[in-house]
Structure 1
Amino acid sequence: MMIMPKNLDILKKEEQALAPEARIKYFDIVIESGKGATIKDVEGNEYIDLLSSASATNTGHSHPKVVQAIKDQAEKIIQYTPAYFANDKAAKLAERLTELAPISGPVKLAWGTSGSDANDAIIKFARSYTGRQYIVTFTGAYHGSTYGSITASSVSLNMTRKIGPLLPGIVKVPFPDPWKKKDYETNDQYVDRMFEEFMHPFETYLPADEVAAILIEPIQGDGGIVKTPSKFMEKIYQFAKDNGILFAVDEINQGMGRTGKWWSIENFGIEPDLMSVGKSVASGLPLSVVIGRAEIMDSLGAPAHLFTTAGNPVTTASSLATIEVIEEENLLQRSSELGQKSLEFFKQEQKNYPFIGDVRMYGLDGGIDIIDPQTKKPDVEATTKIIYRIFELGAIMISLRGNILRYQPPLVITEEELEKAFEIIHQAFNDYANGKLKAPANSSEIGW
């Protein structure tokens, strides 16, 4: 697929006004429209979307039900700040989301406009409720770009470079990702070792009775689509409970049906005290939510976490419609079934191509490592060649951590579209295996 001048002309003009930090570079396209699991650029080139706008459009692009809900509400009123007055859509949505939350007992929520501020809210509510200052997070995490959430993150040096000092009281501990496991370790030995590393700060400089919350992505998103080992999760959860520490989960990337369940924490049988929700909660419109046990959410008063446009009528109408689509079209089950089909495809490719390392799939939610077959080390150059070839063949897939294929199609993708995507990916793998691929001219700029 060839990039035509119109894409490049628009990008060149935009570049004069757009700060370089505002976009992680991948492909030189300008998106004009989307429907379901496909998008089109301004030249009319069509692509199968295997990214879902960073998992922000789980119900697909411009779903008719969501579009109609937005239109109907916009014709009534677009905005009147919920900071001062209620609107019926937000009131209905608050009830709906607190019912869906995987938390027993009375549950309440607060509105925001992005996942970033939802994680800021976790910090605020946890500190307020416990009277403690410290928040524990994990390496490899991506929690957002506001000062609180960016401090809690550790997936890119550009999230700390030149902008310090960051928020005090955030302590990072190692995440038990698959690249840390030694060849000689069993899974249990690995979990035990990583839990020892988790405990090290508490035994040397971090008093547990001064920690407000542990914040974790049950399945890390931008860190590589990596599920926390269940036994490790159980250990840190029990440690939190034993020490009066709140257990908070980030569901921004992995929630809203992405893993085949409403929330990724449901894959562990654990109930959080607090959770952050964003991205697909309103099919990509700017809405976020922090949800928690009522007694925690009652610990702050207005305006400790208020925003003029948060929870406005249009975004909450979109969210209500999004929830209906997920339920009516059985997208949780669909994610599980198509995720299994995707796992089988990538496992077969793994047998055929030695440059495919670990394959992780949790519903329609996958991370596929590209490695050097000789050294078994991450191969960033190969990954860039492969994703660029996939793009040329008509699909959108990006990389994480340089060498991980990010696979997150809309949950509404048809089986025909999925099979076409498999054909494209297979051809890209095969072209790379046969030495047919060259690195794009701007390969040094591509990716995280």
Structure 2
Amino acid sequence: MTTNKELLAAEAGALAKTARIKYFDIVIDSGKGALLKDVEGHTYLDLLASASSTNTGHAHPKVVAAIQQQAAKIIQYTPAYFANSPAAELAQKLADIAPISGPVKVAWGNSGSDANDGIIKFARAFTGRQYLVSFMGAYHGSTYGSLSTSAVSLNMARKIGPLLPGVVKVPYPDPWHRLPDESETAFVDRMFAAFLEPFKTYLPAEETAVIMMEPIQGDGGIAKAPTEFVKRVADFAHQHGILFAVDEVNQGLGRTGKMWSIQHFGIEPDLMSVGKSIASGLPLSAVVGRAEVMDSLPAPGHLFTTSGNPVTTAAALATLDVIQEENLPERSARLGKLAADFFAEQAEKHAFIGNWRMYGLDGGIDIVDPQTKAADPVATTKLIYRIFQLGAIMISLKENILRFQPPLVITEKQLQQAFAILAQAFAELEMGKLVLPENAAQIGW
């Protein structure tokens, strides 16, 4: 039998350092639903869903059948020149379910990163303006445009500048910005004033093309902006002829208990990016937006040889069917309440659980020093490693945040098993029984 260690050792000589954020020394071999299996046959509960790219779970029968059937017909012929049947059907279906009124159009890509690049292109083309506004804590991707608008890791800026010009980053109203005893109204007022400051001092609103936002930040810590703040930002944008764009790559497609995370806010975007789970993890993305905006950019301004190919779009059609037929957004909302109850109970028991957030099956749990309430990355690493040893895959964000994003098809029994594993790890940390792995310094973002 080939072991995890042997395969990783063989890979190490050829894989660049930047190609993986290190967590656990396993090689994934197979998956089914919310379960993963490594090459040695160890089974794990998946609490990450491949970074929220497998909302329908692993190897869903309907998605697998769609891939197999389409692959037997034709795998690829570039949609850059000719249409294919599944992509033509998917474009209309995606336009129909977009949270945007009026005529909507779609442009394909291969990843969420290039979809966010597309937002930049379409916004500049439509408005004739250059400046882009995004938020601190954002993760929009790793291509130059999407990376330039991101602000979640210094390693997304080190050694690779200069980045795209014309990008201005403003503070995101996450829980860590809120002052003790500050009311939500006062918090929103303060954060919106910080948002406006660039426009009052050096950023001409009339030269700004787009404000890009994750209404619920993903890699920034699974944190939801206050609804009133997002409304003010969108209103400001439209008052000044600026497009309002949302990134739904991580948080869309049922993850938060609604089809799209922006639906929690009662706001319609002008543009949105979709990726990750749209094809159950196959490389497909889309920019979706108001037709007049999408028609502002001529070909080949945003097209790619393999984007929207027959296999990925067939997988996406099946994925959307599964999401709708199995009511996965509603299921996420219902099971998310169980998760919220569990983490609320654990926070009462353990002072090292600080702020925690749950939006459907989509949560961030802050691990802090019980006395100072400061972020505790050491305890966080101990926890995720012990959770791994106990049979579940969970990673950390921003050094001290547990990322809870299981596939939306996880069964209630599996969810309770996950709770039992987490509760045991929490209890063992409380009792001082957990130790760091030998490679702890290499683990995490």
TM-score, normalisation: structure 1: 0.99
2:38 to 35, 38, 41: 41
Match status 1:227 vs 2:224: yes
The one-letter amino acid paired with 1:373 is P
Secondary structure of 2:62's counterpart equals helix
Q: Distance in 2 between matches of 1:11 and 1:188?
A: 51
1:217 to 206, 214, 221: 214
Deviations 1:297-322 (A, max 9, x none): 01011000010000000000000000
Secondary structure of 1:248's counterpart equals strand
The one-letter amino acid paired with 2:105 is K
Specify the alignment match of 1:342 in structure 2: 339
2:272 to 272, 275, 278: 275
1:167 to 164, 167, 170: 164
Specify the alignment match of 1:266 in structure 2: 263
Secondary structure of 2:3's counterpart equals helix
Q: Distance in 2 between matches of 1:188 and 1:430?
A: 37
Specify the alignment match of 2:52 in structure 1: 55
The one-letter amino acid paired with 1:50 is L
Match status 1:206 vs 2:203: yes
**Cα RMSD after superposing both structures:** 0.8
Shift of residue 262 of structure 1? Answer: 0.8
Q: Distance in 1 between matches of 2:116 and 2:3?
A: 39
2:351 to 350, 354, 361: 354
Q: Distance in 2 between matches of 1:59 and 1:210?
A: 41
Deviations 1:41-70 (A, max 9, x none): 000000000000000000000000000000
Deviations 1:345-389 (A, max 9, x none): 000000000100111000000000000010001000000000000
Match status 1:68 vs 2:65: yes
Match status 1:158 vs 2:155: yes
8 A contact 2:104–2:291 mirrored in 1:
yes
Deviations 1:120-176 (A, max 9, x none): 000000000000000100000000000000000000000000000000011100111
1:132 to 129, 132, 135: 129
TM-score, normalisation: structure 2: 0.99
Specify the alignment match of 2:189 in structure 1: 192
4+ aligned runs moved over 2 Å, structure 1:
none
Shift of residue 184 of structure 1? Answer: 3.9
Secondary structure of 1:39's counterpart equals strand
Deviates more, 1:53-62 or 1:191-200: 191-200
Secondary structure of 1:109's counterpart equals strand
Q: Distance in 1 between matches of 2:343 and 2:182?
A: 25
8 A contact 2:131–2:210 mirrored in 1:
yes
Specify the alignment match of 1:93 in structure 2: 90
Deviations 1:413-433 (A, max 9, x none): 001100000000000000110
8 A contact 2:2–2:39 mirrored in 1:
no
The one-letter amino acid paired with 1:325 is V
Q: Distance in 2 between matches of 1:139 and 1:8?
A: 38
1:14 to 11, 15, 38: 11
Q: Distance in 2 between matches of 1:100 and 1:356?
A: 38
Specify the alignment match of 2:398 in structure 1: 401
Alignment of 1:287-326 (within 5 A): 287-326=284-323
Specify the alignment match of 1:24 in structure 2: 21
- Unaligned 5+ segments in structure 2 are none
Q: Distance in 1 between matches of 2:365 and 2:182?
A: 22
Match status 1:447 vs 2:444: yes
Q: Distance in 1 between matches of 2:325 and 2:99?
A: 20
2:243 to 231, 243, 246: 246
Secondary structure of 2:372's counterpart equals coil
2:378 to 377, 381, 389: 381
The one-letter amino acid paired with 1:223 is G
Q: Distance in 2 between matches of 1:5 and 1:39?
A: 17
The one-letter amino acid paired with 2:353 is I
Shift of residue 260 of structure 1? Answer: 1.0
Deviations 1:269-327 (A, max 9, x none): 00000000000000000000000000000101100001000000000000000000011
- Unaligned 5+ segments in structure 1 are none
Secondary structure of 2:286's counterpart equals strand
Q: Distance in 1 between matches of 2:330 and 2:68?
A: 29
Match status 1:434 vs 2:399: no
Q: Distance in 1 between matches of 2:299 and 2:74?
A: 24
Q: Distance in 2 between matches of 1:231 and 1:99?
A: 27
8 A contact 2:135–2:150 mirrored in 1:
yes
Shift of residue 5 of structure 1? Answer: 7.7
The one-letter amino acid paired with 1:311 is G
The one-letter amino acid paired with 2:298 is G
The one-letter amino acid paired with 1:437 is L
Q: Distance in 2 between matches of 1:49 and 1:183?
A: 35
Q: Percent identity?
A: 68
8 A contact 2:212–2:245 mirrored in 1:
yes
